[in-house]
A and B are shown apart, each in its own frame.
Chain A
């Protein structure tokens, strides 16, 4: 059984894919980056919690395994389709309505910088229906509020099924506040995202 018809249709018209993950999400994101098809033609933005100076290794690992160009976000980078962007450590990543990223070093949110909430919220203000967000495993509640804003703005929001998440607190928080349009098993997420 493939993904829900509506979901499939929404995925096809999605322009921006947002992926948020924290503890227990590294392997999942690695797999997602690997399975995204080369002809995806969407902007992909990954916000993953991590310690500072840990990035270069993630970037290298991800870049070596993706068929789409992968880029660590620098201030005022313009969003381009068919590119995977990774939020840098120690900065929040915001999206401006003119279509570029701006960075911010203000206070951590949920002890996290980058914060998933910050990026999701700024995307919610700009991309509404054109946007899809997936929230994966994590041990805090970052991302839930941002997901809710995305959902309210018309975006499709997906939470990893808490039973499948190594750390279930993050997707569960999103589900609890009604931020998830879909709750999907890990395999279903993989299946959806590899469809062109």
Chain B
């Protein structure tokens, strides 16, 4: 079964309202085409009709965690888009080193791969002890995985190619302890990280950052919600702080185009201007 007609637009709205009412998560600003794909995927995985889905969402708290995990796409990699890390190393890291202490926010960090990629980059630049990375996500389950920092060996092999392209020295496996078919991130890289729940849709500023990375998250939001979150990022950045979006995501809002300077057009690295 792979029929997109199994769920209608009004049913999606109904589901969004229900989730908001019962669980306090607001998906109304999410792009509808991908949200619909995710909902259909859950219905297929769990073999549920629309009515059953509503019923179980209301009555089973444990199911809601699964739902959240499927609705929010958690596909991630280490050193995803290696040219981004190259640009970061060249154009942003030198600036971060001028600070006593650099705070970095990785928003929508999922299972933590990007946080550890940034930690490796900072350590190699000699900023390991001078920097701190906050990884946040709306999903408590993926954050558990992120804290563990244990990834399948097969994935690490896939990430090795990315790593080669970043131009960093050595090999990606230098950062892991190999345990049979898994690889565990070295403790040294975990020391200056903190993973916690934060919902970009509903939660507010929680710290001031020199760098915010939020890649492949905006794609799931409609432009009005993107703009609201840009406001949150703007307020969370120190003057001249950096914002990194995914390689296919640009700041489209005229208001925020004036408030950010483009540092790297191709990699979508921006700098906050003004106070």
Contact = CB atoms under 8 A, between A and B. Distances in A.
A132 interface: no
A73 B250 CA distance: 12
| Chain B contact residues, majority secondary structure | helix
A73 B75 CA distance: 20
Interface string A108-145: 00000000001001101100000000000000000001
B34 interface: yes
B213 to A, nearest CB: 15
A106 B219 contact: no
A191 interface: no
Contacts of A122: 33
A43 B127 CA distance: 48
B4 A76 contact: no
A102 B75 contact: no
A95 B218 contact: no
Contact of B219 (A104, A107, A118, A125): A104
B34 A75 contact: no
A96 to B, nearest CB: 5
A104 B221 CA distance: 11
Interface string A81-112: 00000001001101111000011111100000
A188 interface: no
A74 B34 contact: no
Contacts of A92: 34
Given A76-B252, A105-B73, A94 B31 contact: yes
B33 A149 contact: no
Interface residues of B, number: 22
A35 B31 CA distance: 35
Contacts, number: 59
A76 B226 CA distance: 11
B51 to A, nearest CB: 22
B86 interface: no
Given A102-B33, A103-B219, A104-B219, 9 more contacts: A75-B218, A75-B248, A88-B248, A92-B34, A94-B31, A104-B33, A104-B34, A104-B37, A104-B73
Given A74-B250, A75-B249, A102 B31 contact: yes
B38 A76 contact: no
Nearest to B3: A149
A106 B34 contact: yes
16 contacts: A73-B248, A74-B248, A74-B249, A75-B219, A75-B249, A76-B223, A76-B226, A91-B248, A92-B34, A104-B33, A104-B37, A104-B73, A104-B220, A105-B219, A106-B75, A118-B37
B173 to A, nearest CB: 21
Contacts of B98: none
B2 interface: yes
Contact of A121 (B4, B32, B73, B250): B4
B216 interface: yes
Contacts of B37: 94, 104, 106, 118
A102 B220 CA distance: 7
A102 B250 contact: no
Nearest to B4: A121
Contacts of A73: 248
A125 B4 contact: yes
A195 to B, nearest CB: 31
